[in-house]
Chains A and B, each alone.
Chain A
Amino acid sequence: MTLHTADRTVSADPPAGTGSAAQSEAASARARTWRRARLAAVLALACVLPFVMGDYRVFQFTLVFIYAIALLGLNLLMGFNGQFSLGHGAFYAIGAYTAAILIQTAQVGYLWTLPAAGVVCGVAGFLFGIPALRIRGMYLALATLALALTTPPLLKYKAFERYTGGVQGIFIEKPAAPFGLPIGPDQWLYFLSLAVLIIAVAIAHNILRGRTGRAIMAIRDHHTAAEAMGINTALYKSLTFGVSAMYTGVAGALSCIVVNFVAPDSFTVFLSITFLVGSVVGGLASISGAIYGAFFIQFIPNVADAVSKAAPWAIYGLFLIGFMFVMPAGIAGFVDKVGGRLQRKLARAGSRAAQAHPAGSSKP
């Protein structure tokens, strides 16, 4: 699932050795098998985990998957398209409230709220993306920040209280596993979130692999050049905003189902900033980065708390600065670099071994 994007392939050296085309093809085939094996192992581990952990840990991992979906959306926007957002918490909130309101007032089945939230947030994001076309960089950051700041007061606003539940928010029931599956509700939600994450990753992978993905990244790399190449930058930028918001909205809806509760104060600016942190620390222009980032924002605060009860956020801040110092391309970039180095070392050792003992060779 490793994605090589423009900025990273530059830094990664070409595979060592000046072997023939057949050799490099074999090497890339080996790399592919290796990657698939790794993916299968991770998936198998993810399927076993909920049966060996306590309910609370299962819940935490479920949240990791949900955050990963949201961060994936943010990565599409910031990492691949180069537009800043300090306001994705707002789309997360819209998704969560869409789900909660549909479940509570319209008695919609909870699974149907996921596509509904996706559509609502996708449209909202697309519409927000249109005025956002005019502003770039820090100014866009401010506009999105305004979105994040406006969300909690709007959710508390008296006139909407009938739908949003005001300050109290909305409680919903925890769904049980369907079809009489012999697993607890926490485990069911874990697998549900995992499944949605896998679908989200597959879609993102396919978007980015093709013509659309190249257009999105070309806009990031050089706006003017992309325009000169005939890419409809306005359309692609607002579309990316829409897709990004859709991802985050689906994640929000899932979070509402998993947490069984939405309230305005869960969606402050702090949430948006947490998403930004997860996205950058995980690795901006990568799909796997979203997953690393989700682990970071879910577990590092706990680690910081364990280190110092008195000033946990100071420790968290040190973690942030330290991570940026050691891994400027995020955790995903770091993993790629270290993995690539290991692989090259292995390949070199392998080819040296092959030269030392040429099979069936009669040369001196």
Chain B
Amino acid sequence: METFLQQVVTGLADGGIYASIALALVMIYHSTDHLNFAQGEMAMFSTYIAWTLINAGVPYWLAFGATLAISFVGGIVIERVVVRPFENAPVLNAVIVFIGLLVIFNSLAGWIYTYDIKQFPSPFPERPLRLGEVYFRAHDFGAIGVTLAVLLLLWLFFRFTPLGLAMRAAAENPVSARLVGIRVGWMLALGWGLAALIGAVGGTMVAPVLFLDPSMMSGVLLYAFAGALFGGISSPGGAVFGGFFVGLAETLAGTYIPFIGNELKLAVALLIIIGVLLVRPSGLFGRVAVSRV
């Protein structure tokens, strides 16, 4: 029972990170139909920026805030400079561009910071939390808390602010949104900025567990991708649920199915998801796309 509870918390903590990256993927997918394969590497790069700031002596939460701001601006710049020319390109061309971005970020990080694995500090206490008879890592709870807080803020933003509504309108129906005076192009850029920001949160939360190296996000991106599709890529809430689910499934499968071990646990998580997709081809909460013939 103890192990089980510990594994559930670890799974949810990992899941929260997958959920943030999955949400970042969904935000961009929702407005442009493009799946940003570089999302994970962008988050990795943001985490390196945070690492640089912290090592320069900036207090943790200040560095955290600054990283989010830098990532937000960086995301907008990437959209304006690199992605915008491919706005109407076929899906696969966009995929290649994102793969290009992915290898660029990965290579730049390796070049600037070397490929050595680095420690990344956690803002939460080292001492394990004790609940009843069971000990938990404080960082796990902290990561879950931070993820949920970010999700809540985003929900409030999209639900109650004029800018959030404008962004949703631009994603839902670009033509009508343009007609009522929303600058759709800029809304897309803002979406990229926000996605980069969410990714940065995920990156800084996962780095104390995974350690910091240029390839730390490749696995996370795959889980996030799986989570986003599992929940239904047209549904932000579904993507968050999917992320948490994948984290749980992966951790529990790795612990309780003896012959799997670490190597195959990703495969098992994916197989579960594909099994679900075969029954519900648009994901659990996804809308079935109806197209006019």
Contact = CB atoms under 8 A, between A and B. Distances in A.
Interface of A: 78, 84, 131, 134-139, 141-143, 145-146, 149-150, 153-154, 156-157, 224-225, 273, 276-277, 280-281, 284, 310-321, 323-325, 328
Contact of B101 (A136, A139, A149, A317): A317
Contacts of B103: 313-314, 316-317, 320
22 contacts: A78-B92, A135-B277, A135-B278, A136-B281, A139-B281, A146-B267, A154-B267, A273-B99, A277-B96, A277-B99, A280-B95, A316-B103, A317-B100, A317-B104, A319-B100, A320-B96, A321-B97, A323-B96, A324-B93, A324-B97, A325-B86, A328-B93
Given A273-B99, A328-B93, A142 B225 contact: yes
Nearest to B92: A280
A131 B92 contact: no
Given A311-B107, A321-B101, A142 B293 contact: no
B222 interface: yes
6 nearest CB pairs, A to B:
A320-B100, A317-B104, A313-B107, A146-B270, A314-B107, A311-B111
A219 to B, nearest CB: 14
Contact of B233 (A138, A145, A150, A277): A138
A153 B274 contact: no
The B contact surface, by secondary structure, is helix
A318 B96 contact: no
A156 B263 contact: yes
A16 B267 CA distance: 55
The A contact surface, by secondary structure, is helix
A142 B96 contact: no
Nearest to A86: B95
A156 B264 CA distance: 10
B267 A150 contact: yes
Interface in B238-293: 263-264, 266-267, 270-271, 273-274, 277-278, 281-283, 293
B214 to A, nearest CB: 10
Contacts of B110: 311, 313
A149 B111 CA distance: 27
Given A153-B263, A324-B89, A134 B281 contact: yes
A320 B86 CA distance: 13
Contacts of A325: 85-86
A314 B96 contact: no
Contacts of B29: 138
A313 B106 contact: yes
